[in-house]
Chain A
Amino acid sequence: MKKLIPFLIAAAMPASALLAQDAAPQPTAAEVEEDVVGTLDANDARIAIPAFATNADVPTQTSAGSTSTLGFQIANVIFGDLRNNGLFKPTGPSALPRPALSQVQAPDYGGWRGRGADMLVQGYVRAEAGGNVTVGCYLYDVALGQQTAKAGWTVPPGEWRRAAHKCADMVYSRLSGENPFFDSRVAYIAETGPKNRRMKRLAIMDSDGANHRYLTTGQATALTPRYAPDYKSILYLSYYNGQPRIYIYDLTTDKQRLLLQSSNPLFAPRWSPDGKWILYSMAIGGNTDIYKMPSAGGAAIKLTDAPGIDIGGSFSPDGNRIVFESDRSGSQQVYVMNADGSGQKRISFFGGRAATPEWSPRGDQIAFTHIAGNFRIAVMDPGGGNLRYLTDSWQDEAPTWAPNGRVIQFFRTTRGSGKTGVWQVDLTGKNERKLETPVDGSDPAWGPLRP
């Protein structure tokens, strides 16, 4: 399969918090990547990911230890990322010899061929004077005997896993042709306790479950978080004052405030993709409608006016349209409207009920919960056609998209116990797995690729 590849992978990575650098151990300038002929179908790629080499095994301020153990851990994070999405057959550093630093740019192709590897990911770790670490990441096509991509990052010690995720993103993008998504975070609700006295806390974690942190104590029930597109805050629902209201949690100060003062219940907070607008749903006299307000503050605009429950809402990636849920027809169904509330039109006609629609970041699909007996995660196109089920269990609900629109997380409730778990499935529906969280989890909300 021939594929045009980006001019330079490193240039496609957003440079900001991470200081993008030339990765080569020998200080060659970042070379222009020529077209590379890939002969592999990504589905078959056997990828060897040995421990990253280092120029000197010295202590680091990272949680992983010395540069040598850090090199192993980085390879292991990449291995976990690539293994868990089902596209590849990776082998991790535990089962592979560790290349010497001199081999990082001159792989032993023959040796890797002998091990049955199609592709090789290797790299190096270097401790910098100020405590930062530099990570170089190289992707080789073993069959062709040539380098396919490379990139490097210098990161603060607390963010070493980001370098690993970016390396995994580079490999994933190059081999699948899809946009990256590993370097992202998820907000969710951590649940503990018996079914009738469930404690629900706001929590955040990396896309692979690492760097987990609770944000609230659980004294007030927290529900339905949504990461701001810039990752600086989270909107969520809390019963902090006894009533369901929307709070905005500022992640830079760890302070929170009411989104708006109201004597009415407020539900279902959402961001627009550019972060400039916030959707919320408010019940007045039992009738719930969807409103839109500028995130910087200002007057709210009422978008729906139908008797009944209009709730939720998810912007199309261009911000021009909103998909939402309404029971105006007598049961929950999915509707679309223009961002000003005009042109409201039902799009779900599948029998049963259709709920919690979320527009893919790519714009091509809408994920939702289809309820016909059981609750299943499904996708359809924005016109309401081509229904496809991705899961089949007793109660799966509330899909959220990975930044690249190719993977979905949702939560699954167990019949009887009411225990919940965060699960992940790709768009083929074939690769489904439960995310490991410290306690039960629900309401996952996947943020965009990290800035």
Chain B
Amino acid sequence: MNTRLTLSLLLAVGLGLSACAKKAPEVLPPDPGGTPAATESAGGDTGAPTPGSQADFVAQMMGQDTIYFDTDRYNIDATDQQALAMQAQWLMKYPAKRITIEGHADERGTREYNLALGERRANAAKNYLVSLGIEPGRISTVSYGKERPVALGSDEASWQRNRRAVTITVD
């Protein structure tokens, strides 16, 4: 199931993936998601997360679980496309996994508009994943508007980090 043509196509995009499939530790916790053989999973250096888990997703994405937007925008640019392609690859590897995409906005918008804007951003990410072949039914979205910033400053650098869509896997 993880040897789809699309997968190799995605790899061909040249994402600089850390595709080095290390041997997983001998003893692993039960796999929650009915995922492929553990040996397929590239873990961290030590104490590799359970393949197919959220920790595994975060480790594999290396920051690419989040995409960023310009002020008031929701378009998927080339950088976002690379990140979402990486996410899609992981999702094809673990087809039983579902995800939630959280859409966020920076604090420099009004509250209600930002709720709608976060939803629009999450949907833009969802639509792109669907265009890469991920089943829409596996993807839900939720907007937190400006209510859950990760960067706490009131400056452009912080706002950039907060205008984001974060993919989180659901067991």
Contact = CB atoms under 8 A, between A and B. Distances in A.
Given A196-B148, A286-B74, A267 B110 contact: no
B112 A224 contact: yes
A327 to B, nearest CB: 7
A230 to B, nearest CB: 24
Interface stretch (B2-10, B59-67, B118-126): B118-126
A379 to B, nearest CB: 16
Interface stretch (B18-26, B87-95, B149-157): B149-157
Contact of B116 (A285, A288, A395): A288
A11 to B, nearest CB: 41
B40 interface: no
A62 to B, nearest CB: 38
B113 A200 contact: no
Interface in A194-231: 194-196, 198, 200, 221, 223-224
Given A198-B147, A286-B119, A309-B117, A443 B111 contact: yes
Nearest to A354: B110
Interface string A379-399: 000000000000000010110
A416 interface: yes
B150 A196 contact: yes
Interface in A225-260: 237, 242-244
B142 A242 contact: yes
A148 B104 CA distance: 57
A198 B108 CA distance: 17
Given A288-B119, A416-B154, A268 B142 contact: no
A224 B115 CA distance: 11
A283 B111 contact: no
Nearest to B151: A196
A371 B150 CA distance: 23
Interface residues of A, number: 42
Interface in B118-171: 119-124, 127, 142-143, 147-150, 152-154
A309 B111 contact: no
B107 interface: yes
Contacts of B117: 309
Interface in A268-282: 268, 281
A268 B147 contact: no
A418 B120 contact: no
Contacts of A309: 113, 116-117, 120
A331 interface: yes
Contact of B113 (A196, A285, A355, A442): A355
Contacts of A332: 110, 113
Nearest to A286: B123
Contact of B147 (A200, A265, A287, A416): A200
Contacts of B152: 194-196, 418
Given A198-B147, A418-B152, A283 B142 contact: no
Given A244-B115, A332-B110, A288 B120 contact: yes
A287 B121 CA distance: 10
Contacts of A442: 111
Contacts of A355: 110, 113
A402 B164 CA distance: 37
A244 B119 CA distance: 10
Interface in A434-451: 442-443
Nearest to A326: B113
A426 interface: no
B72 interface: yes
A398 B146 CA distance: 14
A395 B154 CA distance: 11
Given A244-B142, A332-B113, A223 B147 contact: yes
B112 A286 contact: no
Interface string A406-419: 00000001011010
B113 A286 contact: no
Interface string A131-159: 00000000000000000000000000000
A398 B111 CA distance: 8
B120 A265 contact: no
A356 interface: yes
Nearest to A194: B152
B74 A397 contact: no
Contacts of A23: none
A355 B116 CA distance: 13
Q: Please indicate which of the listed interface residues A237, A286, A287, A288 has the most CB atoms of chain B within 10 Å of its own CB.
A: A286
B116 A413 contact: no
A415 B154 contact: yes
Nearest to B123: A286
A311 interface: yes
Nearest to A374: B108
A273 B127 CA distance: 39
Q: Please indicate which of the listed interface residues B110, B142, B154 has the most CB atoms of chain A within 10 Å of its own CB.
A: B110
Contacts of A221: 147
- Return the 4 tightest CB-CB contacts between A and B, nearest first: A286-B123, A286-B120, A288-B116, A355-B110
Interface of B: 72, 74, 107-113, 115-117, 119-124, 127, 142-143, 147-150, 152-154
Given A355-B113, A418-B149, 19 more contacts: A196-B152, A198-B147, A200-B147, A223-B115, A224-B111, A265-B142, A268-B112, A281-B112, A285-B123, A287-B120, A288-B120, A311-B112, A327-B72, A371-B108, A371-B109, A395-B107, A395-B108, A415-B154, A418-B152
12 contacts: A195-B152, A283-B119, A283-B123, A286-B119, A286-B120, A286-B124, A309-B113, A311-B112, A375-B110, A418-B107, A418-B154, A442-B111
